[in-house]
A and B are shown apart, each in its own frame.
Chain A
Amino acid sequence: MKKIVLPGDEMYDKPVRANHTYVEGGRTFSKVLGIYNEEKDELVPLEGAWHPRVGNSIVGIVASVDRSTSSIELRHSSYGILINDRMSRYSPRKGDIVESVVKSIERKSVPVMDRVRPIDGPPLLIYVKPAKVPRLLGRNDSMVKQIEELTDTRIVAGLNGFVAVSGRGINMAVASIRKIESEAHTYGLTDRIREMLISMKNDS
């Protein structure tokens, strides 16, 4: 069973350490508007802006390149820092679309980036609500792989919400991404996406 919970809803009548919850007066409450999956005993937020955590994979755009550092735009007016590494095979250029990983968080909110790689293309860059990116990826990336195969595209989805799409069936891929974004909370989505893409292919 899945159910939607609101901030302040009681999750457990005892103190429990669980994501997106807090404990008060010996009980545990949800912090977020989320969906609770009873079988997996897991609370997943339904909405929310992205907040950098160490290890997050992101997609961004190189916004500026200075002598020792570069900045990478990760969301609206928000940047990650990259320490330029002369030994690296890739030297960033302004305007490049890149994938990268958050290595650390400085001053509590500034992400420092690592393992920066350019995404070839140039790809089409779209924005997906960050809370929906995990559903777009699917378990072990199963959802995104399915779309790539059926549309002959390459998709790189960053947890910050930017998604780079390149290849032949860009329009179909984007249509399926938008469907996932609006139906992320529903059952049987993987099958519905497959059916949609197959019928789109047959039509064209």
Chain B
Amino acid sequence: MASKINKPKLMHNGKRLDGRMPDELRKIRIEAGVLKNANGSAYLEWGKNRIIAAIYGPRDVVPKHFADPNAAIIKCRYSMAPFSSLEEHGRAGQNRRAIEISKVIKEVFENAVILEEFPNSEIDIFLEVLQSDGSTRAACINAAAVALASAGIPMKDMVYGVSVGKVDGEICVDVDMIEDNYSEADMPMAISHRDNRILLLQMDGEMDSSEIRKGFDMAVAAGEKIKSLQREALLQMYKGV
């Protein structure tokens, strides 16, 4: 958000810088089952975002004293590769931002996964952003949900992630990197497939309540497309049924 200096005009005749309409998603491609060692995995292209998600478990908790005798625990690690951004060479590993994102994504799946089935176990979600172009946490949630399903992890429901933002006064779905840098507000969220339950919600900037309402409506409308792409990715693993 922040800098208003050198802010480019983000909307031209009702269209966004990359030519999208306000309610239009970027191009999304999801592939499930891309890694051999992981119990489940997914590769996701979302605009210029490139994400790989891998799941291990349920497996025994390390170290043992973290184990919950009544349920599985979830560990989540989101990080950005040092070469993921167009700008400077980043640092390997997790910074404070990555640790916070890992935590809120973990909480999404603590809701969706049926943890009670696996006492004393852990389920690991690894999310690597190989290339970032805005809304990476929403993109990671989409990849993680597909990867979890492909690992055979029991869940109450599937989950998708999507962001909305206020761009030159206009509410837009799926903000990209440039929009995110100069927008008036940004609101990433994770939503359950069936009942539209909000499992992740963050927001910063400024929006009034009617704009937020409009943002939710746009997110849910765009969600239809994302949900069908997630489903399609999983079905592709079993062609020939």
Q: Would you call A33 and B149 a contact (CB within 8 A)? A: yes
Q: Would you call B241 and A45 a contact (CB within 8 A)? A: no
When chains A and B are docked, how far (Å) is the Cα of A29 from the Cα of B155? 10
Q: Would you call B157 and A78 a contact (CB within 8 A)? A: no
When chains A and B are docked, how far (Å) is the Cα of A78 from the Cα of B199? 32
Minimum CB–CB distance for A122 against chain B, Å: 25
Q: Would you call B241 and A2 a contact (CB within 8 A)? A: yes
B151: which A residues are within 8 A, CB to CB? Answer: 47-49
A35: which B residues are within 8 A, CB to CB? Answer: 238, 241
Complex partner residue of A8 from B153, B192, B238, CB under 8 angstroms = B192
Q: Would you call A109 and B155 a contact (CB within 8 A)? A: no
- Whose C-beta in chain A lies nearest to the C-beta of B113? A7
A8 and B120 contact, Cβ closer than 8 Å, known pairs A2-B241, A185-B241 = no
When chains A and B are docked, how far (Å) is the Cα of A29 from the Cα of B157? 9
Q: Would you call A186 and B240 a contact (CB within 8 A)? A: yes
A107: which B residues are within 8 A, CB to CB? Answer: 69, 120
Most chain B CB neighbours (cut-off 10 Å) among A29, A49, A77, A185:
A49
B150: which A residues are within 8 A, CB to CB? Answer: 33, 47
The contact string, 1 if C-beta is below 8 Å from chain B, for chain A 1-41, is 01110111010000000001010100001011101000000
Minimum CB–CB distance for B229 against chain A, Å: 12
B149: which A residues are within 8 A, CB to CB? Answer: 6-7, 32-33, 47
Complex partner residue of A7 from B58, B69, B156, CB under 8 angstroms = B156
Q: Would you call B193 and A31 a contact (CB within 8 A)? A: no
Q: Would you call A6 and B154 a contact (CB within 8 A)? A: no
B231: which A residues are within 8 A, CB to CB? Answer: 6
Q: Would you call B119 and A109 a contact (CB within 8 A)? A: yes
Chain A contact surface mostly = loop
Q: Would you call B155 and A49 a contact (CB within 8 A)? A: no
B70: which A residues are within 8 A, CB to CB? Answer: 108
When chains A and B are docked, how far (Å) is the Cα of A38 from the Cα of B193? 24
When chains A and B are docked, how far (Å) is the Cα of A131 from the Cα of B152? 9
Q: Would you call B59 and A31 a contact (CB within 8 A)? A: no
Minimum CB–CB distance for B30 against chain A, Å: 13
Instruction: Kindly state whether residue A86 has any CB partner on chain B within 8 Å.
Output: no
Instruction: Kindly state whether residue B235 has any CB partner on chain A within 8 Å.
Output: yes
A78 and B60 contact, Cβ closer than 8 Å, known pairs A20-B154, A31-B155 = yes
When chains A and B are docked, how far (Å) is the Cα of A2 from the Cα of B29? 26
- Whose C-beta in chain A lies nearest to the C-beta of B121? A109
Minimum CB–CB distance for A10 against chain B, Å: 8
B121: which A residues are within 8 A, CB to CB? Answer: 109
Complex partner residue of B114 from A31, A48, A109, CB under 8 angstroms = A31
The contact string, 1 if C-beta is below 8 Å from chain A, for chain B 35-69, is 00001100000000000000001111000000001
Q: Would you call A76 and B238 a contact (CB within 8 A)? A: no
Q: Which of B82-139 contact A (CB under 8 A)?
A: 112, 114, 117-121
Q: Would you call A7 and B155 a contact (CB within 8 A)? A: yes
Q: Would you call B58 and A51 a contact (CB within 8 A)? A: yes
Minimum CB–CB distance for A126 against chain B, Å: 14
A108: which B residues are within 8 A, CB to CB? Answer: 69-70, 119-120
Q: Would you call B192 and A6 a contact (CB within 8 A)? A: no
B238: which A residues are within 8 A, CB to CB? Answer: 4, 35, 46, 185
Q: Which of A156-183 contact B (CB under 8 A)?
A: 183
Q: Would you call B156 and A33 a contact (CB within 8 A)? A: no
Q: Would you call B152 and A47 a contact (CB within 8 A)? A: yes
Most chain A CB neighbours (cut-off 10 Å) among B69, B149, B154:
B154
28 cross-chain CB contacts under 8 A: A3-B241, A4-B241, A6-B149, A6-B193, A7-B149, A7-B154, A8-B157, A8-B158, A10-B194, A22-B114, A24-B156, A31-B114, A32-B152, A32-B154, A33-B152, A47-B40, A47-B149, A47-B150, A48-B151, A48-B152, A49-B59, A51-B58, A77-B60, A107-B69, A107-B120, A108-B69, A185-B238, A186-B241
Question: Chain B: residues with CB nearer than 8 A to chain A?
Answer: 39-40, 57-60, 69-70, 112, 114, 117-121, 149-158, 192-194, 231, 234-235, 237-238, 240-241
- Name 20 extra pairs, CB < 8 A, besides A4-B241, A48-B152: A2-B241, A7-B157, A8-B193, A10-B194, A29-B194, A31-B155, A32-B149, A32-B152, A33-B149, A33-B152, A35-B238, A48-B153, A49-B57, A107-B69, A108-B119, A109-B60, A109-B121, A185-B238, A185-B240, A186-B241
